[in-house]
Amino acid sequence: MMKRDDVVLLLVVGFAIWGLGSIYYAKAGPAILETTAARYWSAFLLSPILSALLCTGILRWRHIAYTDWTSAMLLLALPGMIGEAVVLSSLSTFMPKLHAVSGGKYAAFLFATYALVLGMAEFITLRAMHS
């Protein structure tokens, strides 16, 4: 069972990661999403992997038990998932440099990242529970 301090910290860190990531894509989004196919797909593959490495590092830093990784990863992800729902619903307000048609590409980045991070955490949790 995670400590209360870890729960709060993971939520705060998740909010910070979401905020910094959103600011980054608001500024650099056109160079990533509105570019050549090769550059887009390279970034599409790299972004989820880097996010998974970052989140894994955070859970290891906090010494979160493997049996708690799914819950811990959800705590990291939920602020971003909620925040991105707001951003995507008003893309032109929050990311004015992006064309509206790039919203789908941005959402695809997000879905791939959350799927990899949460799927990896679930795999690790299930493996720990059955070993």
**Residue 34 confidence (pLDDT):** 94
Domain that holds residue 46: 4-129
pTM value is 0.92
Cβ–Cβ under 8 Å, residues 72 and 116: no
**Residue 56 confidence (pLDDT):** 97
Q: Which whole number is the average pLDDT over 106-121?
A: 95
**Residue 131 confidence (pLDDT):** 85
Nearest to 91 by CA among 25, 31, 41: 25
Q: What span, in angstroms and rounded, lies between the C-alpha atoms of 88 and 102?
A: 10
**Residue 1 confidence (pLDDT):** 85
Q: What span, in angstroms and rounded, lies between the C-alpha atoms of 40 and 89?
A: 22
Q: Is 92's pLDDT higher than 90?
A: yes
Burial of 53 (0-12, 13-18, 19+ CB in 10 A): exposed
Number of domains in the chain: 1
Nearest to 79 by CA among 6, 11, 4, 2: 11
Q: Which whole number is the average pLDDT over 68-76?
A: 97
Q: Is the dihedral of CA 6, 12, 16, 17 positive or negative?
A: positive
For the chain, give the mean pLDDT.
Answer: 95
**Residue 40 confidence (pLDDT):** 93
